[in-house]
Amino acid sequence: MTSPVRSHLLGVARTDMPGLAAEWEQALRPRLRSLDDDLATIGRHRSGIVTRLSGMVGEALRTLRLAQRLSELPEGLSDWSGQQFLRIRFDEVDDATLLHELGEVVDRTAQERTGNARDRRDGMSLLLRGVRAAMPKGVRVEMLKPDAVLRTERLRVSEIRDVFSGGQQLTAAIVLYCTMAALRATSAGRAGARTRAFSSWTTPSGAHRPATCWSCSSAWPARWACS
């Protein structure tokens, strides 16, 4: 801390300080009011950032839930009929706890030094930290495992690389692409996007054709494809 006031105080002998205390108090009152105003302004700005961040975190969590709903598969897929391809689970905190945790996120972010790319303080990094704070126990994401008989076997996404074959990974990628396309359409406000992520595939001539499982070469119903 370096300031003219501090320098002045350090230049006065301790024995002389009691006699100057009343004079200093009067002289520093305007500065005290100014500092109080600055702190109040900082507090309002912090509160606004936390409130805005809370809204964005809530929207991100709603997007995760919507992705699960939009991944619901159509009828005609044996045991997969009506199943949600994605299952996203997480425990949320109550609103008061969330605001407190997001305040801590904002404070830590403001205090950090930005020495490398991992310490970035851009908006997306702050949002991701906020989402993690909203899910203190983490998130569990599972998806159905494509096979010839379409059993409802689910695996965590962290296991896909070791368990899924190349064809199964490609099949899962197609379903996820359709889900993401539906999410994008929903964000754009396109009618019907909230209720279906899959419709019919067509050939360039406009004729419907069945979708094919890339892992087992079995035909899926024609209406299972990206809308």
* Distance, C-alpha 86 to centroid of its chain: 17
Q: What average pLDDT score do residues 22-32 get?
A: 87
Q: Is residue 174 part of a domain?
A: yes
Convert the pLDDT of each residue in 76-95 to its tens digit: 888 888 899 999 999 989 99
Which pLDDT does position 190 carry in this prediction?
57
| Residue 147: alpha-carbon gap to chain centroid | 31
Tabulate helix, strand, coil % of the chain (nearest 5): 55, 10, 35
CA-CA distances (angstroms) from residue 146 to 72, 85, 171, 174, 177? 15, 10, 7, 11, 15
Question: Sheet holding 139-144: strands in order across?
Answer: 86-90, 139-144, 154-156
Residue 205 has pLDDT above 80, yes or no: no
**Residue 84 confidence (pLDDT):** 92
Look at residue 150 and tell me if it is in a domain: yes
Parent domain of 19 = 15-69+92-136
Same domain, 80 and 98: no
**Residue 206 confidence (pLDDT) above 60:** no
Q: Record the pTM.
A: 0.70
Instruction: Examine the domain organization and report whether 34 and 98 are in the same domain.
Output: yes
Q: Tell me: do 186 and 221 sit in the same domain.
A: yes
Length of the chain as a residue count? 227
Helix and strand numbers (H, E) in the chain are 6, 5
pLDDT at 23: 86
Residue 43 falls inside a structural domain: yes
| 72 has pLDDT over 60 | yes
60 and 171 together in one domain: no
Same domain, 49 and 121: yes
- 143 and 100 inside one domain: no
- Give the number of domains in the chain: 2
Neighbours of 44 (CB within 10 A): 10
105/167 same-domain check: no
Please state the rounded mean pLDDT for residues 49-53: 96
User: Does residue 179 share a domain with residue 113?
Assistant: no
Q: Which residue has the higher pLDDT, 148 or 102?
A: 102
Higher-pLDDT residue of 195 and 157 is: 157
Same domain for 29 and 131, yes or no, is: yes
Q: Which residue stretches of 71-165 are H helix?
A: 95-111, 123-134, 160-163
223 or 195, greater pLDDT:
195
Who has greater pLDDT, 197 or 112?
A: 112
User: Do 59 and 82 lie in a common domain?
Assistant: no
